[in-house]
Amino acid sequence: MGRIKFNGVLLLMVLQIFLVATTTGDETYESDQKSVKPLLDIIRQLRNKLEQSETKEKQISELNSDLMEKYHEIVRIHETFMKEAALLNEYKNKIIKGENDLQLCQNKVDKSESQINSQQNIINKLKEQLTDKSINLENCQVQLKSVNSRLIEKDDNIKRFSENIKSNKEHQKTLELELEKSKSTLINHEKEIQLCRSENNKLNRISENNREEQIKIQLKLKEAKTKLIDKVNETKLSQSALDKLNATTCIAFGDYSGVHELNVSGIGLFNVLCDSELAGPGWIVIQQRVGGDESFDRDWATYRKGFGSFESDFFLGLEKIHRITSLQRFELYIHLVDLDGRTYNARYDDFKISDEDNGYALSLGKFNGTIIWDGMRDTENMKFSTFDHDNDKTDYANCAVWQESGWWYNHCSACPLNAPYETSILWWVEMTEYILLKKVKMLIRPKEAMKMK
């Protein structure tokens, strides 16, 4: 801008000099015309440049004006930018804070996820435990139903036993009264015998003339003796009836086989099949397989109670067997008939089973018999198993399901005598050989039975 003003002043000075020169005379002008012409050209150029510079100055002024506007606009933009930069810093700070908060949240989320995973594991374990407890609950419900059914059965039995006991007590009182009468009569007859003997001694002192009276008295004495014997026999019969009323084994019925009634503590009165033909008197049949009419694939409650018919196949019942064998020492006699009709027997000298809480576990004692292999030994001390009570030692199967019957299974017994008829009832005689059976009877009797006889 300052350079443009300087050029303009210089141009004005040159122009004044020229004008002065033109006024001094034409001679000078003419002589100097040649020398001034270049100067005029310069002046023209300067004028043109001046005009151009003025134009440019206007343009520069306009540009300066525009520039000032732009400057103010830039200032405004800068102020706006600074405000926006401040806002940006504020947003940046907020973003940083947000990122920190987000990181904290992420940490909390990670911690929550860890807790959730831990809780999920706990939930899974609880689900497994819940599943196990559900299964246990179902088993408990089944057992509860079984217990309820047994309680109902026990209530019925108690009611029936109470009635039987009441009836038996009345009958027993009647027998006791008859026994007392018989004893009183016996005492009276003994007195009469003593009197008769006294009279007889007197008669012996009487002379021969009184022989007829003596004979009459002797006849009376004989008649009194006969009556006395009859009363004694009646007394013995009454005592025998009383013994039979309280019988706990078949010993009380002597050689009389067939169905008789026992009276065992904890159960009361119930019928049993007595056998005096296979191995002597006094045996109670606790299991019989002779016809194949009965299925032995039964549940726990049925085996506990007993089932079947005395005329064919039957199982006396685990609770009855336990109650009987808990009274004294019993022996077990097993009668076996193979498919060809050959008979065998196996005997054990200390047979008993535990109570239900201990699974009716089996004890046998020493073995002897006509069969060579102690096939039942594999079952000793084993609890009884049914398809709904798996007490065997086999991990891969329930033997009661596999062999379709309840039994004292170990690893699926060597002699499952309750197995399906004529297809699986067998008795092992060697490690690799066995006998198929068509008839089986299991009988028990007090060990001291023969000594008592």
CA 279, chain centre distance (Å): 44
Q: Give residue 198's pLDDT.
A: 67
Q: Give residue 104's pLDDT.
A: 81
Q: Supply angle C-alpha 127, 133, 138, rounded to 5.
A: 125
To 10 degrees, the CA torsion angle through 422, 428, 432, 438?
-20
Q: What long-range pairs does 49-53 form, CB within 8 A, spacing at least 24?
A: 49/7, 50/7, 50/8, 50/11, 53/4, 53/7, 53/8
Residue 8: CA count within 13 A, CB half-sphere: 11
Q: Give residue 240's pLDDT.
A: 47
Residues 6+ apart with CB under 8 A from 18: 36, 39, 40, 43
Regions in the chain scoring below 50 on pLDDT: 4, 24-27, 29, 232, 235-243, 452-453
> Percent of the chain beyond pLDDT 70?
64
Beta bridge mates, 307: 315
Residue 243 contacts residue 168 (beta carbons within 8 Å): no
Report how far residue 331's alpha carbon sits from residue 364's, in angstroms, rounded to the nearest whole number: 8
The pLDDT tens digits of the residues spanning 306-327 come to 999 999 999 999 999 999 999 9
Amino acid letter at 191?
K
To 10 degrees, the CA torsion angle through 443, 447, 452, 453?
40
Q: Give residue 150's pLDDT.
A: 60
Q: Give residue 116's pLDDT.
A: 76
CA 374, chain centre distance (Å): 35
Task: Give me the phi and psi of 416, to 5 degrees please.
Answer: -75, 90
Residue 349 contacts residue 366 (beta carbons within 8 Å): yes
Amino acid letter at 253?
F
Residue 331 contacts residue 311 (beta carbons within 8 Å): no
Report how far residue 272's alpha carbon sits from residue 262's, in angstroms, rounded to the nearest whole number: 7
Which two three-digit tokens encode residue 214?
Answer: 């003596």
63 to 54, 58, 59, 91, 137: CA distances (angstroms): 13, 8, 6, 38, 98
Q: Give residue 162's pLDDT.
A: 62
Q: Give residue 330's pLDDT.
A: 97
Neighbours of 261 (CB within 10 A): 13
Question: Quick one: CA dihedral 120, 121, 123, 124, positive or negative?
Answer: positive
Report how far residue 439's alpha carbon sits from residue 313's, in angstroms, rounded to the nearest whole number: 10
Question: Quick one: CA dihedral 266, 267, 271, 273, positive or negative?
Answer: negative
